[in-house]
Chains A and B, each alone.
Chain A
Amino acid sequence: MILFRKILFYLFLALYLVLCPIIILYAFGYIFTPKGEEGFAKTGLIHIETLPANASISIANRRNVGKTPATIRNLLPGQYDVKILLRGFRPWERKVDVEPGKAVNFENVLLVPQSLKTRALITEPFEDLWPVPGTRFLLLKRTESVGDLWVFDWKDEVSRPVFFKASAFVDATLVRVFMVKESPFVILQVKTPAGMKFLGCQLDKEKTEIRDLSILFMAGEPSEVSWEGGHPDYLFALQGQDLSRMDLEKMTVLPVFLTKIRGFGLYKNKVYALRGSSIVRLSFNAKKGEESVVEKGVFLENLFRGDEKYKIDIISGNTICFHGERGELFSNALPYRFVDGGVRGYQADPDGRKVALWQESRVGVLDFEKPERKKEFFERGPEIDWIFEKGKSIRQAYFVYDAAYILFCDENKIFLARTGERYSSLEKLVAVREGSGFFYTEKTGKLYYLESSRGEFMSADILPEGVTLSGVINDLEKETQGAMK
């Protein structure tokens, strides 16, 4: 037994000593091809996951090398034509450069159906569509008259006019809509024969609650109105350089709550404002003049030189965006000054880690958590990945499928582009009514838009059924309820 044990021990030891380096080399991608020119070569691999799964993969001339999700190993360095095919879906093709020891990762490849599954949600024609951000509501405008303004609940797929026929404001003309994130409370600025009116609308009620807030806006038309929560206690309105605080319970106005400011934002019951080149902060219920300076100095003076106005948007606990009136986009994260002008709008992902932003001709992604390139002398911070630069009039964008894609509207067409790929090939999805807005939510995986010819309100399935979870919708409801409290 002792001898046998020793023999077996040395046998296993030899096996280990032989296997260990072989496995480690193989793990690094080394293979031996006795018939090939390379002999001992370091390979790369391609990893592909698609939605829906089970699509067939072809690489170079090799057809059907696997079904997604799949990892295609032992690829000698070089360029490969990768094609993914699934019946009923558009083919997905890329030229992929495989480097030795490296993995090319195509996670979250979304296969687009040959013909999108669309559905008319309201067959009447509409002129425009405005999503109320972070809520389940969309506003649909048929004509300039507020009586023709509809609200659509995409969770329950029900719609109704915002105003009753008997409402005194039903014939008023809609001038402007003020909305904030995650609040089903919106303010409509309308024009009536009696003058300009400001109407607070609580959309999450079975019958929209309308409240005339015009008395609070006697000082004139604000350039910006903002609030926090679904049932706000205060509104903050910017007129010129002065910020007023409006108490909705007492229906009173504190006219110069903050003065000489260049923009403001709200976060957790506090007002953050840019005054000169300093950031000041003040509680909602503070008294005039109680503001404290959060940050100031030469650095901010250089960043906010000039006298432009900025919209301050706190997109997460760590990240603040400053959107200037000339389209500048700054942030409190390196490199601070992301775009010097022309940004028409931006949309952050739910975690505030990524921002999709668009200018007239291009759309890009800013990933605040993208690891920095190593071995650089200066710390640079993230850069914007411009994924499409040949647009004519880009006006909206949304992240799709866990930010793996961007859905954006250029002129009257909606496109889907993959993020993380510079100059990604575009998938044209639908045509929309000229100048109208659109909406997409991961919660339903649907795109909501106005059809191009008649303006019918439509939905199109972007994510296959079964991917979106009703649990997510419940989460959203909780969030909305929380915001309303």
Chain B
Amino acid sequence: MKFRYSRQGLNKKEMLLQRFFETLPGLTSWTLILGLVALSIWMPLIAAIAVIVFMLAWVLRLFYLTIFLLLSYVRLSIEKDTDWLGRIHGMDRFDAYLAEIRAGGREKDWYKRISQWMLQKDLERLKKTGDIPPRSSEIFQLVVIPVVKESPLVVGANVLSVAHNKAFSKQTIIVLAVEARAEQSVREGMKRIADEYRDRFMEFLVVEHPDGLPGEARVKGANISYAARTAAKYFEENKIPFGNVIVSCFDADTVVGPDYFACLTYCFMNCPDRHRASFQPIPVFHNNIWEVPGFARVIETGSSFFQLIETTDPERLVTFSSHSMSFKALVDVGYWSTDMISEDSGIFWKSYLHFDGEYQVVPMPTTLSMDIVDAGSWWGTVGSLYKQKRRWAWGVENFPLVMRGFLASKKISLSDKLQHGFKLFEGQVTWAALPFLLTFVGWLPAISAGNEFSNTVLYYNASRFTQAIFGLSTIALLGTIIMSLWLLPKKKKRFSLFWTLVHGLEWFLVPFILVFLSAMPALDAQTRLMLNRRMEFWVSDKRRT
């Protein structure tokens, strides 16, 4: 479908529709919060019922998500020691490899047995579709790293981690997408990195993105799209088919493992419709996890958990942060949006609409690590985290575009439109409103109760129910604490039992974090969108010592 995934150049009717959908999430969140406050004061009986309805939904959802968090963690653990390279080479001789797998002996280790079973299932599916992938030696990796103010130390670590994927380094083209407006020292630093690492890759380009090109906003998407276009020229010149290139857009602070590209290549080869797919690793924030305040550790571990849970729902999975996709698909959809802040999720929706719903995100059973925001001081980090979360929440800007796209599309099924639309909308509203409802408003009917309400059975039972819900959610929280301790990088972990306990207890900051560093920035973003006060891309503070 030809759909311009932008709010620019709209006619009056389209703009009216765009504004309606821009207003909807913020208006709903505010209505929920203020409505329940008003109900608590004037109609506490109705408010108490609403609180029960919300809280029960929340606690069941919490348990539901905890189950998938656990499953996702198990999936990650199963593939932890998988020989991705071996699998890729096996797939290069597809039929023989499938026969070997079919005939393979039973592994003693349960994890390996499950992994083997899933591999066989994947290969069988691929064979059934008949879409045999290109040979791994014909697949090229394009890594785009946007830079505007990041230090060479941060970007260097990123490039080095890519270089450690030795099996692919000579098939890898690195593009440092540097903003022309970046300081001289930054630009020179990037050139030094290019000089240092050029020999280790197939090609290493430093592309300067001119400031103020027509139709562009000062956003990351504009920079990386410009860099990808430059890379496209390189591929054309070198006669490399776009269909054989996997493009990975990494945030500057990304650090990948030595088998990241092996896993990515496996997922790409294994995907029957690989040019209609993005590939999403699980972002963890381990680079500086022990150098930041406890609340920052908790919030980013929570973000990782969220992604872990999301990977269990590939039908509704959306790209987030560092991600990969077929370069052919990227070129077909016209690259990332050049006027949106949330280009990471935007590229999925843009592709989804472009390919009339025939586009998916494939979850990768591997992680990549990034930095937690660190402004150097406690309050500075609070401020920076707030801004970062607001930027993430600005992903709500996709909602009006997607909804307009859905209304325009005749090929996407109504069921898909409804499910995607609802998830987008509900996700945003829940993000902004639910923590307020749970933390403050849930207690309001009991607190603001007049004599009439406080003399009812409902008054006593509602507060008892609220307490029970919080008790149950503590159980879920305990599960999360245990899992967070499993996920922490072991080598840098402070060893004593005391510190383990302290890091566990940090999770009890969740109510504070949920309200001030999650719901509030989300509500801020939705309100800005509602009032048409658009945001500019703000680069998070990240330090490396």
Set of chain A residues within 8 Å of B455, measured between Cβ atoms: 102-105
Set of chain A residues within 8 Å of B459, measured between Cβ atoms: 103
Stretch at the interface among A12-20, A168-176, A455-463: A12-20
Asked if B49 contacts A371 (CB within 8 A), the reply is: no
Stretch at the interface among A42-50, A130-138, A235-243, A266-274: A42-50
Q: Is B314 an interface residue (CB 8 A)?
A: yes
Q: Is A71 an interface residue (CB 8 A)?
A: yes
- Would you list which residues of chain A between 19 and 36 have a CB under 8 Å from chain B? 19-20, 23-24, 26-29
Asked if A27 contacts B52 (CB within 8 A), the reply is: yes
Q: Is B315 an interface residue (CB 8 A)?
A: yes
Give the CA-CA distance A103 to B452 in the complex, in Å.
Answer: 10
Interface centre among B49, B312, B314, B456 (most CB of A within 10 A): B456
Asked if A12 contacts B52 (CB within 8 A), the reply is: no
Stretch at the interface among A1-9, A116-124, A380-388, A443-451: A1-9
Asked if A1 contacts B71 (CB within 8 A), the reply is: yes
Q: Which residue of A lies closest to B51 (CB)?
A: A27
Give the CA-CA distance A226 to B464 in the complex, in Å.
Answer: 52
Q: Is A101 an interface residue (CB 8 A)?
A: yes
A sample of 14 cross-chain residue pairs with beta-carbon separation below 8 angstroms, ordered by A number, consists of A2-B315, A8-B64, A12-B60, A12-B63, A20-B53, A27-B48, A27-B49, A29-B458, A44-B457, A101-B457, A103-B454, A103-B455, A103-B456, A103-B457
Q: Is B485 an interface residue (CB 8 A)?
A: no
Set of chain B residues within 8 Å of A16, measured between Cβ atoms: 56-57, 60
What is the interface of chain A, defined by CB distance below 8 A to chain B?
1-2, 5, 8-9, 12, 15-16, 19-20, 23-24, 26-29, 43-45, 47, 71, 73, 101-105, 370-371
Set of chain A residues within 8 Å of B86, measured between Cβ atoms: none
Contact of A9 among B48, B64, B75 (CB under 8 A): B64
- Would you list which residues of chain B between 436 and 460 have a CB under 8 Å from chain A? 450-452, 454-460
Asked if A43 contacts B457 (CB within 8 A), the reply is: yes
Asked if A47 contacts B56 (CB within 8 A), the reply is: no
Give the CA-CA distance A73 to B68 in the complex, in Å.
Answer: 37
Asked if B60 contacts A15 (CB within 8 A), the reply is: yes
| Apart from the given pairs A5-B313, A73-B461, 16 other A-B contacts in the complex at a CB distance below 8 Å | A1-B75, A5-B68, A8-B64, A20-B56, A26-B461, A27-B49, A27-B461, A28-B461, A44-B457, A45-B457, A71-B460, A102-B455, A102-B456, A103-B454, A103-B455, A371-B451
Interface centre among A2, A8, A28, A104 (most CB of B within 10 A): A28
B contact residues, total (Cβ < 8 Å): 32
* B81 CB to nearest A CB, Å: 21
Asked if B64 contacts A102 (CB within 8 A), the reply is: no
Give the CA-CA distance A315 to B64 in the complex, in Å.
Answer: 57
Asked if A105 contacts B454 (CB within 8 A), the reply is: yes
- Would you list which residues of chain B between 60 and 102 have a CB under 8 Å from chain A? 60-61, 63-64, 67-68, 71, 75
Give the CA-CA distance A73 to B463 in the complex, in Å.
Answer: 14
What is the interface of chain B, defined by CB distance below 8 A to chain A?
48-49, 52-53, 56-57, 60-61, 63-64, 67-68, 71, 75, 312-315, 450-452, 454-462, 464-465
Give the CA-CA distance A7 to B63 in the complex, in Å.
Answer: 15
Q: Which residue of B lies closest to A29 (CB)?
A: B457
Asked if A28 contacts B60 (CB within 8 A), the reply is: no
Give the CA-CA distance A472 to B42 in the complex, in Å.
Answer: 34
Give the CA-CA distance A101 to B465 in the complex, in Å.
Answer: 16
Asked if A1 contacts B312 (CB within 8 A), the reply is: yes
Interface centre among B53, B452, B455 (most CB of A within 10 A): B455
* A303 CB to nearest B CB, Å: 29
Give the CA-CA distance A104 to B459 in the complex, in Å.
Answer: 12
Q: Which residue of B lies closest to A43 (CB)?
A: B457
Known: A5-B313, A12-B64, A371-B450. A23 touches B458 (CB 8 A): no
Set of chain A residues within 8 Å of B52, measured between Cβ atoms: 20, 23-24, 27
Asked if B457 contacts A2 (CB within 8 A), the reply is: no
Asked if B458 contacts A19 (CB within 8 A), the reply is: no
Set of chain B residues within 8 Å of A371, measured between Cβ atoms: 450-452
Give the CA-CA distance A374 to B57 in the complex, in Å.
Answer: 35
Give the CA-CA distance A29 to B48 in the complex, in Å.
Answer: 14
Interface centre among A1, A102, A370 (most CB of B within 10 A): A1
Set of chain B residues within 8 Å of A23, measured between Cβ atoms: 52, 56, 465
Interface centre among A27, A71, A104 (most CB of B within 10 A): A27
Set of chain B residues within 8 Å of A103, measured between Cβ atoms: 454-457, 459-460
Set of chain A residues within 8 Å of B49, measured between Cβ atoms: 24, 27
Give the CA-CA distance A2 to B362 in the complex, in Å.
Answer: 13
Asked if A5 contacts B461 (CB within 8 A), the reply is: no
Set of chain B residues within 8 Å of A73, measured between Cβ atoms: 457, 460-461
